[in-house]
């Protein structure tokens, strides 16, 4: 079992390398992970920045539909997991990826961790991550973040929700990260937390 997990992690690291190879990052002063975390804690504004191998990137504001979809997903997960030793977190909680390949900190729209997390500002063992797609983030969420999030040995499912139309994509470790697509009238099962989600319930305000 351990050998299989190590092989899966190595495959994810290889795929991550392919996804980011050749990407040009903006020139700026290098910031270590520790400096970034301290800088994030010491700032007194409400802006959020993600960290990618020494560089920081400001996050754009989200639309009304984006917020509603993220909020609906959070509410369903929170209510379903109430009383269970799992934490459901919104976009103010980071995830931290530390490996031989990369050091990254992202702010997912929604995440669930059922492990004992020790840092008050980021999780390192999410089992489920949800991102709401926008025109400016869709490509990054489907490529860079998919490859990076797969480095979490704990992650079982990665969910991408369109903000404009009833359309949800689910990538599952159990199916070797093949994409499943769910649209209006369909129900998806989040095996990582044992929850069925009707697409229409998430997008009722758009229908």
- The beta-strand segments (E) located in 6-125 are 49-52, 55-58, 87-89, 94-98, 103-106, 110-113, 122-123
Percent of the chain with pLDDT over 70: 86
Cβ within 8 Å of residue 195, ≥6 positions away: 76, 77, 80, 189
Answer for the pair 68, 205: CB distance below 8 angstroms, yes or no: yes
Tens-place pLDDT, residues 86-97: 999 999 999 999
| Res 96: pLDDT | 98
Q: How confident is the model at residue 109 (pLDDT cuts 50, 70, 90)?
A: very high
Tens-place pLDDT, residues 150-186: 999 999 999 999 999 999 999 999 999 999 999 999 9
Q: How confident is the model at residue 19 (pLDDT cuts 50, 70, 90)?
A: very low
Return the CATH number of the domain spanning residue range 64-203.
Answer: 3.90.1570.10
How much is the average pLDDT of 122-141?
A: 96
| Res 141: pLDDT | 97
Higher-pLDDT residue of 96 and 20 is 96
How much is the average pLDDT of 50-59?
A: 94
| Res 114: pLDDT | 97
- C-alpha R_g of the chain: 17
- Which residue has 């920045």 as its token pair? 49
CA separation (Å) from 173 to 17, 44, 55?
18, 38, 29
pTM of the model: 0.87
Domain-wise residue ranges, the chain: 64-203
């Amino acid at each position: 079992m351990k050998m299989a997990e190590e092989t899966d992690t190595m495959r994810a690291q290889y795929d991550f390398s392919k996804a980011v190879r050749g990407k040009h990052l903006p020139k700026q002063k290098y910031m270590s992970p520790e400096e970034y975390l301290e800088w994030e804690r010491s700032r007194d504004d409400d802006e959020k920045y993600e960290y990618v191998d020494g560089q920081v990137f400001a996050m754009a504001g989200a639309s009304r539909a984006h917020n509603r979809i993220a909020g609906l997903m959070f509410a369903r997960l929170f209510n379903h997991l109430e009383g269970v030793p799992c934490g459901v977190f919104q976009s103010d909680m980071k995830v931290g990826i530390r490996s031989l390949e990369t050091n990254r900190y992202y702010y997912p729209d929604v995440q669930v961790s059922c492990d004992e997390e020790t840092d008050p500002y980021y999780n390192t063992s999410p089992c489920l991550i949800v991102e709401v797609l926008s025109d400016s983030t869709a490509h990054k969420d489907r490529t860079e973040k998919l490859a990076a999030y797969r480095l979490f040995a704990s992650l079982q499912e990665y969910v991408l929700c369109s903000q404009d139309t009833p359309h949800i994509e689910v990538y599952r470790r159990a199916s070797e990260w093949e994409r499943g697509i769910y649209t209006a009238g369909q129900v998806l099962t989040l095996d990582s937390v044992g929850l069925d989600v009707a697409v229409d319930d998430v997008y009722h305000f758009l229908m």
